[in-house]
Amino acid sequence: MVNIVLFGPPGAGKGTQSEHIIQKYGLKHISTGDLFRKHLGEGTQLGKEARSYMDNGKLVPDEVVIGMVDETINEHKEAPGFIFDGFPRTVAQAEALDKLLADHKTGIACMIELDVPQEELKKRLLERGKTSGRADDQNEEKINVRIGEYLTKTVPVAKFYAGQDKNCKINGVGSVEGIFGDIVKAMDTHY
Ligand code: B4P
């Protein structure tokens, strides 16, 4: 089993690159953002709990996220591996993920970080906001909150994986195909 964390700020292209990675490697995609949006759409209790945080660009509390990921891993025990997209976003989530995977006698092979400057992130998210219908993409103030959450709570996760010698930083500016080519080079060292 090969498990990968795809890491980066909001709008870095994690969702976009995940689609290519899944196609090439057949991994099970776990995007916490997508899972929350599914719960929101279905009006579940979890969705109701997450909505106010997401709409305002804040991170959903760790215990809610970790419980949801635990459930999803258990539902896909036969997967050849997982790509975690947008998770972990805090050090507590990263520690919890190590424990969850250890229970399944596996672990994280590598963390791929997409590096994109703030101005480019804002441009991409505002552009997506014109058509996505996502409340968190539609104004600069909310985007700034999301980037602020990333800088204070999520950046330390990169150090967590660097401490395990598992981090790999990739330039996330350029064509989607070019960036994917760099991801493949990084991933192939683990296959
Ligand atoms: P996510 O759904 O993870 O949203 P994201 O950060 O916006 O996504 P991503 O980086 O995947 O961007 P994409 O590829 O789409 O999270 C949303 C919210 O959910 C969070 O704010 C939080 O509230 C909550 N949440 C999720 N996970 C959580 C967790 N673990 N803990 C707590 N809360 C959590 O790309 C963005 C845009 O850029 C797209 O329009 C795309 O077309 C464009 N793009 C991509 N690559 C490009 C390129 N190379 N060049 C130009 N444009 C590009």
Which residues have any ligand 1 atom within 6 Å of their CB? 8, 10-16, 32-33, 36, 53-54, 57, 59-60, 65, 86-87, 89, 93, 124, 128, 136, 146, 176, 179
Model pTM above 0.85: yes
What does the pLDDT read at residue 191? 66
Q: Name 24's Cβ contacts closer than 8 Å, sequence gap at least 6.
A: 184
* 128 among known catalytic residues: yes
Domains identified in the chain and CATH numbers: 3-185 (3.40.50.300)
**What whole-number distance in Å separates Cα of residue 114 and Cα of residue 14?**
8
∠ at Cα 165 (120, 58), nearest 5°? 40
- Point out the catalytic residue in the list 37, 51, 134, 166: 134
Q: What is the mean pLDDT of the chain?
A: 96
Would you say residue 189 has pLDDT above 90? no
pLDDT: is 6 or 189 the higher one?
6
CA dihedral sign, ordered 68, 89, 190, 172: positive
**What whole-number distance in Å separates Cα of residue 134 and Cα of residue 54?**
9
Question: Burial letters for 88-102: b for 16+ Cβ neighbours within 10 Å, e otherwise?
Answer: bbbebbbebbeeebe
CA of 83 to the centre of ligand 1 (A): 15
What does the pLDDT read at residue 26? 95
**What whole-number distance in Å separates Cα of residue 33 and Cα of residue 31?**
5
Mean per-residue pLDDT, 48-59? 94
